[in-house]
Amino acid sequence: MKIVLVGDGWGAIALYNSFIKENKDFGVFTEDFELLGKIKIDGIKLLGRIEDLEDCLIICAGYKKIIKKEMLNKNKIINIHYSLLPKYRGYHSTVWAIINDEKYLGLTIHEMNEYIDDGDIIYQYKVENDKKKTSEEYMLEFNKFIEKNAFRIIEKYIKKEIIPIKQNKKDASWVGKRNIEDCKINFENNIEELKSFFRALVKPYPLPYIEVKGIKYEILDFSFHPSDCKSHIGRVLNIDDEGVYIRIKDGYLILKKLYNSGNEYSANEIINKIGIKLL
């Protein structure tokens, strides 16, 4: 059975690196510029279409298009998804898992069917959420695991040394593709929720932002001041040499540095009036 790797981004590159170390007898379908360069250097066959594939083992990583049922019927298709399925089916799963403060994070290699991230589980890699690492750091860790282990796992699957396990739909959750509006700070959140939010939203994703006079400012530097004093949520209640203090559920978010359109600002350059409310 011919093997074809399909996908874009750093997950697809990790998968490719795992295979190229062991075996050059595979094809690739990708639009990823970096991966295209690797394929050319290594002399691997680049496929122009995947719709015509038949009787292939297709392994997807970072492939965002819906695969039609006809293709599923003609091929065996595997997907690499960065969550511990059946939880967090869908887009930006690691980010959502950190925002929701899951105890464990990880990835799943699973068979693909016509539903979103629904197929039988081949293998899972699981790590504890240490509440310190960012989404980027976790995804780099997952990429390293794929690069080191994907070929070996798929080889065992082909030899039927791994028996896939059906997902328990009762435990399933689904998440959607994030957009820029999802990165806006919710001042109703508490300190721990906002810490998770800041760990989840790091480059290459857009950073958490506030809006001042209709202009979005990403938050580059910040800290927290715990307090059980009840006051107006979302209101600027202090400005000093540490930054701009905005009331949140159980304390204050202290803004120090902001960013907009290529420029960095100290927070008190942008917010210089006590009492204003940020929505």
How do beta strands 215-226 and 236-240 pair? unpaired
For residue 170, give the amino acid letter.
Answer: K
Dig out the tokens for 240 from the structure.
């000093």
Report the C-alpha gap between 113 and 200 in whole angstroms: 29
Share of the chain above pLDDT 90, in %: 93
**pTM of the full predicted structure?**
0.94
Q: For the chain, what is the total number of helices (H) and then of strands (E)? A: 7, 15
Mean pLDDT value across the chain: 96
Q: pLDDT tens, 120-143?
A: 999 999 999 999 999 999 999 999
Q: Are 111 and 78 in contact (CB under 8 A)?
A: yes
Sorted by sequence, the CB contacts under 8 Å of residue 214 that are 6+ apart come out as: none
pLDDT for residue 135:
98
Domains of the chain are 2-175 (3.40.50.170), 180-274 (3.10.25.10)
Residue 85 sits at the vertex; the CA angle it makes with 80 and 90, to the nearest 5 degrees, is: 70
Q: pLDDT band at residue 169, thresholds of 50, 70 and 90?
A: very high
Q: pLDDT band at residue 279, thresholds of 50, 70 and 90?
A: confident
pLDDT for residue 181:
96
**One-letter-per-residue 3-state SS of 193-232:** HHHHHHHHCCCCCCCCEEEECCEEEEEEEEEEEECCCCCC
Report the C-alpha gap between 93 and 130 in whole angstroms: 17
Report the C-alpha gap between 187 and 192 in whole angstroms: 12
Sorted by sequence, the CB contacts under 8 Å of residue 274 that are 6+ apart come out as: 236, 237, 238, 239
Report the C-alpha gap between 117 and 150 in whole angstroms: 18
Neighbours of 255 (CB within 10 A): 27
Residue owning tokens 């209101």: 235
Question: What pairs with residue 245 in β-bridges?
Answer: 238, 254
pLDDT for residue 89:
98
Span 198-203, average pLDDT: 96
Q: Are 2 and 56 in contact (CB under 8 A)?
A: yes
Task: Tell the burial category of 54 from Cβ atoms under 10 Å away from its Cβ (0-12, 13-18, 19+).
Answer: exposed
Dig out the tokens for 170 from the structure.
């009762």
Q: pLDDT tens, 224-251?
A: 999 999 999 999 999 999 999 999 999 9
